[in-house]
Structure 1
Amino acid sequence: MGAQSFAGIRILCRNLLLLRKESGVQWLIGSPFFPSPTIVSSMRCLHTLPSNPLSPDLAKELDDIRSLIPRGFEVIGALIVRDKGDMKVEKVAGDAISAVVSFRKALYGNDREDPVLIGAVLDLNIGSSERDLQFFISRTGNSYKLDKVSSVVYEDQPEKEVWENFCIVCCELPLKLPLYYASDNPKAAEGAYAQAITAVERKLRDPQVAYIVEAPNRPSSGGPEPVILHGFELDPAAEELPENAINAVVLESDEESLKKSRTCSYFLSESRDIASFNSVEENADKILVSVMFNRSKSNVEPTAPVAEYFPALGEAMLLVVNHKLEVLSYCPKDLRLTDVISKLIIPGLVDQLHKLKDKILPDLTQQLQLRPYHFMPPGFLHPITVIYELSYGEMEMKQVEARTSLHLRLGLPFDRPLLRIANAINLSSIKDSTRDKSNPKVGSSLLKDVHHGIPSSGVSGGRVSLIQGSYEYYHYLQDGFDDSGWGCAYRSLQTIVSWFKQQHYTTVDVPSHREIQQSLVEVGDKDPSFIGSREWIGAIELSFVLDKLLGVICKVISVRSGSELPEKCRELALHFETQGTPIMIGGGVLAYTLLGVDYNETSGDCAFLILDPHYTGNDDLKKIVNGGWCGWKKAVDSKGKHFFLHDKFYNLLLPQRPNMV
């Protein structure tokens, strides 16, 4: 098996190598819309054969991967990480290619031509970094005829490559399936359900079904008109076209002919800045597709409605199964809308429908509440789709195990709740007012992340360690509540709770002063008379509230004088680098929120990034920054003024990030 030289492949994903210390297999994900072999993401193979841990169990892997990646992305390669060097690297690469060929054949059959396929190998005896990877390609799917890749290009702006000339298409389809079956034969419900699923699949390909394609948030005046495509317009050669459909094709106007040639770009902006890509919601071009099963195409000849009656042979039962399909597809802006529907949306809906069927059929009577959600975890350039069972709480073991498995497959950390429902992609901007409100993401009017863009600390040669993630700025007099002179620690606690909420560790609302006091009474720290009072609280009380409301444990650092705080900078820097949570500093009658430190280990010079809850003005970011209410503070400034008091002891509350998924 010889290997010739091949020009090159492109790598867009930032986390290509998920296995660095153990052998295993990874799937390499690309898109048929890219002109050259391009790796967009990588996913770990979790199911392998007992006889060979480097051979994927295709039946199980196919089921998982098919539902995870949107249409428009596909498996284009495999990476094998081995810890034994007793086989030639070309042979291992050939095994990787063979696995991909088998995977694609099981998924697409023999009707689809394979693109250039990639086989990659990492020998842990040689190295464990991406530069130690060896790439091979197969132009024909033949694992015995490989070309060695001579050039691997890592793109500097992967988001631009993925999204500048492409868009996301969303189709949501609620289904209500009434199932009738004999009361003395409950098993018959399963057959009725399978028939109902088959009927829906047929309807999706019915010549008279209507697909409404439209831009999100179309203004009341102006903007592109929605395009309505019927089944017979998607495939002119479709079999069993009704007579009226044929007449409609013959009589179609120039305008109707034009709509079938329209591409996604008809709905999209001509230019979009992808340089600062933050999320699919904010930055990706989007199109919405709705499905209308009613036969809305006008008949050439008048017809009368027909009702059919099928009398039951005995006592019958009715079971109604509700499904909500929601598929995302990825496609170039110059792809015809007819191709989007026929080649991406319909197959995606059918795939998801069968996935739901496979999950619900083992016990139809349980009425599982299955719902697809879409996520775009850190480091991923495209969305993934996960189907959750809503009957279970997110903290129940079954759900935790499901998310843990997904974190393992996607190479995500196990101490970040990245795949909880609260973290799902919010597509409300492209849905109408009838959207399910079970997962709202209501925007807050409070200022977020006010430390972004502030002037530097002035520490020469220091290392900056900052809070990780977003928070909201809580301060005196907010919400029309006068807590000036006593509520600074309460406000610091609210900012800390907002951080946990923003990172989706909790869905608990940020507590009010009274709710904070109520919590302290409930844990036995305060008497009932404390509720409604204006008494101060400190770091210890904050730790009690965080434990009660969020289940968050805290570490406390105590110093006898404010002059000792600079000695704790190394420890504080480590906290921000490993935990990343905001810190409450309490000393005397004052409390602050610490967002970071700038520390020079050699000179000992340091500065503290302080968010001051004592601010009493309106939420004017410029006023807050210019007034020093959020900024770097040195223990002793250039005028010799001490920020931290020498005659007061200080407690620092360091909330610990929960180790959870």
Structure 2
Amino acid sequence: MKKLFLFLFILQAYGADYSTIRDELLLADDQAHGVTRLNQVSGNKDFRQLVDGKIWFLSYGTELYAYASESVDDTSWGCAWRAIQTTLTAYLRGVPTFKELYETYGGRPFMQEQLDELYPEYKDQQWLAPHETWNMWSDPVIGKMILHSLGIPSTLVSLNGIAPSKSPKVTDVTIDYKTFRRLVLQHFRKGGSPVMIDNSSYAMNILGAGKWGNHLYLLIGDPHLNFERDANPLNGLYVVELDRDGALVELVYPMIKNHFDPESYRAFNTFGNQNWNLLFAE
């Protein structure tokens, strides 16, 4: 409840001066929440078949948010905002809507205030805020600032190096794939929240993890869903198996027919060799 009050305070302080979602992106049909809740789908036979023997630890309280919900058509540009919403479901009973997140946190004044406190070294960099660009993007750096403003500790992690972004190029720590494997397993073993990941083209969430030998299994919550989709509770959920070097061994995606952009899940083909920005909330 305290975090909800903090959000409402920030909305009042910053929201009025910021850009709004463009009219042509507003939809008449309102889907108030995300596409699925893990604690509701956990008993589903098809979900158990997807994760059993592979995913040992899950963020059960998660609600996955995806494209074209909450009366906003964010297809092809809003995946990072959706990944932030998914992360927040672990902390807030009432998650801010897409429109509230964008209009409250997408402007330069909010970002500059947070960056001054978190990463003072950014001052010499050239950067843009989401309200300053047509595609209205977001990324884990903005996710970190949102969590910080709500009093939620988090660590901004770069896998292999910082992935390109319009945000300042900042990170808390840079790691290799071997360290990532250990970190992500430890995070979910302790009951961790969804991990936001972004390679500068596609953002999504890791919702759980497990291992077998040197192979890592990740349960992915992917927001890149078709505008027209059925209401299957497994939408956006798939498991990737990565070898000891982070290359894809297998991807199991029951509802792949409802996916919008296959390049998002193809990013896991060479996951361990790419630069990724990751946000681990504590």
The TM tier, using the shorter chain, reads 0.5 to 0.7
Q: Deviation per CA, 1:272-309, whole angstroms, max 9, x where unpaired? A: xxxxxxxxxxxxxxxxxxxxxxxxxxxxxxxxxxxxxx
Residue of structure 2 aligned with 1:509, choices 96, 109, 123: 96
Gap change, CA 1:604 and 1:478, over 3 Å in 2: same
Residue of structure 1 aligned with 2:141, choices 525, 540, 544: 540
2-structure distance, mates of 1:458, 1:543: 32
More helix by share: 2
Residue of structure 1 aligned with 2:188, choices 558, 576, 584: 576
Q: Say whether the 8 Å CA contact 1:569–1:597 is kept in structure 2.
A: no
1-structure distance, mates of 2:207, 2:130: 34
Asked whether 1:523 is paired with 2:111, we answer yes
Partner of 1:499: 90
1-structure distance, mates of 2:87, 2:37: 12
Residue of structure 2 aligned with 1:447, choices 35, 50, 66: 35
Q: Say whether the 8 Å CA contact 2:36–2:63 is kept in structure 1.
A: yes
Which runs of 5 or more residues in structure 1 are unaligned?
1-392, 396-442, 657-661
Residue of structure 2 aligned with 1:456, choices 31, 43, 50: 50
Q: Deviation per CA, 1:184-224, whole angstroms, max 9, x where unpaired? A: xxxxxxxxxxxxxxxxxxxxxxxxxxxxxxxxxxxxxxxxx
2-structure distance, mates of 1:613, 1:580: 20
Partner of 1:482: 73
Gap change, CA 1:488 and 1:560, over 3 Å in 2: same
Q: Say whether the 8 Å CA contact 1:587–1:651 is kept in structure 2.
A: yes
- Give, as a single letter, the amino acid of the residue that structure 1 aligns with 2:58: L
1-structure distance, mates of 2:130, 2:194: 30
Residue of structure 1 aligned with 2:157, choices 557, 560, 575: 557
Which runs of 5 or more residues in structure 2 are unaligned?
4-30, 116-126, 164-175, 243-247, 252-265
Q: TM-score, normalised to structure 2's length? A: 0.59
- Post-superposition shift, 1:582? 0.8
Gap change, CA 1:497 and 1:458, over 3 Å in 2: closer
2-structure distance, mates of 1:514, 1:497: 17
Aligned positions, number: 202
Q: Deviation per CA, 1:233-285, whole angstroms, max 9, x where unpaired? A: xxxxxxxxxxxxxxxxxxxxxxxxxxxxxxxxxxxxxxxxxxxxxxxxxxxxx
Partner of 2:238: 631
Instruction: Give the SS at the match of 1:500.
Output: coil
Q: Say whether the 8 Å CA contact 1:583–1:594 is kept in structure 2.
A: yes
- Give, as a single letter, the amino acid of the residue that structure 2 aligns with 1:591: A
Residue of structure 1 aligned with 2:224, choices 602, 614, 624: 614
1-structure distance, mates of 2:2, 2:205: 30
Tell me the percent identity.
Answer: 19
- Post-superposition shift, 1:532? 7.0
Q: Name the Cα RMSD after superposition.
A: 3.5
Q: Deviation per CA, 1:341-387, whole angstroms, max 9, x where unpaired? A: xxxxxxxxxxxxxxxxxxxxxxxxxxxxxxxxxxxxxxxxxxxxxxx
Gap change, CA 1:521 and 1:533, over 3 Å in 2: farther
Q: Say whether the 8 Å CA contact 1:569–1:599 is kept in structure 2.
A: no
Residue of structure 2 aligned with 1:465, choices 28, 52, 57: 57
Gap change, CA 1:513 and 1:591, over 3 Å in 2: same
Instruction: Give the SS at the match of 2:274.
Output: coil
Q: Say whether the 8 Å CA contact 1:473–1:495 is kept in structure 2.
A: yes
Q: TM-score, normalised to structure 1's length? A: 0.27
- Give, as a single letter, the amino acid of the residue that structure 2 aligns with 1:465: F
- Post-superposition shift, 1:509? 3.1
Partner of 1:139: none
- Give, as a single letter, the amino acid of the residue that structure 2 aligns with 1:551: G
- Post-superposition shift, 1:474? 1.3
* Larger-gyration structure (1/2): 1
Query: Which structure is richer in relative contact order (CA contacts within 8 A, separation 6 or more)?
Result: 2
Gap change, CA 1:572 and 1:527, over 3 Å in 2: closer
Q: Say whether the 8 Å CA contact 1:475–1:616 is kept in structure 2.
A: no
| 1:396-415 → structure 2 map (5 Å cutoff) | none
Gap change, CA 1:446 and 1:591, over 3 Å in 2: closer
